[in-house]
Amino acid sequence: MAIDPIAVWADMTLKTWPERYWMLDLAEGDAAPAAEAVSTASGRYACLIRDQAGISVVIDQESAEELARQVPVRDRFGPFRVVSTDGDLPFDVIGFLKPVLERLNAEGIKAGPQCGAVFDHLFIYEKDIDRAETVLEDFIAWAKSRP
């Protein structure tokens, strides 16, 4: 039986990570230093993606600066703040992020989604974080009020 994503949102809490984050675009050959940077950023959010364009890493500012001293950075985006789900999130729920992304996008807020095995994450431009948190809180309140 399908899991209702709105019902999951009704019971969700969120965590905004305190650090400032950056997304770095690196060449594929820089995967090892990027993985090392992710692994040494303990206690903080970090994500590493390898795709057809090369390596993307979302990492806290201090770690991003250290990594940039080790390898050439092709491009840099941010600063971001990361908002993570911090409640029970069944892995098999379908369409969980879509309604929230639609609400954020309708407000002109870019939110980059990243799904983990246990939690989902949104990296949001720091300049938009206050508005984004309000949209997310309002969405959860709406989900709770649904019949």
27: pLDDT confidence band, cut at 50, 70 and 90? very high
User: Which amino acid would we find at residue 37?
Assistant: A
Neighbours of 139 (CB within 10 A): 19
43: pLDDT confidence band, cut at 50, 70 and 90? low
Structural domain harbouring 60: 5-145
User: Which amino acid would we find at residue 35?
Assistant: A
Residues 6+ apart with CB under 8 A from 1: none
- Alpha helices by DSSP H, listed for the chain, are 5-10, 31-40, 61-70, 98-106, 129-145
113 SS3 class: strand
Q: Domains in the chain: how many in total?
A: 1
pLDDT tens string 99-133: 999 999 999 999 999 998 999 999 999 999 999 99
Rounded to an integer, what distance in angstroms lies between the CA atom of residue 43 and that of residue 25? 23
Q: Is residue 42 over pLDDT 90?
A: no
Which CATH number covers residue 61?
3.30.2130.10
15: pLDDT confidence band, cut at 50, 70 and 90? very high
Rounded to an integer, what distance in angstroms lies between the CA atom of residue 84 and that of residue 66? 24
Q: Is residue 19 over pLDDT 70?
A: yes
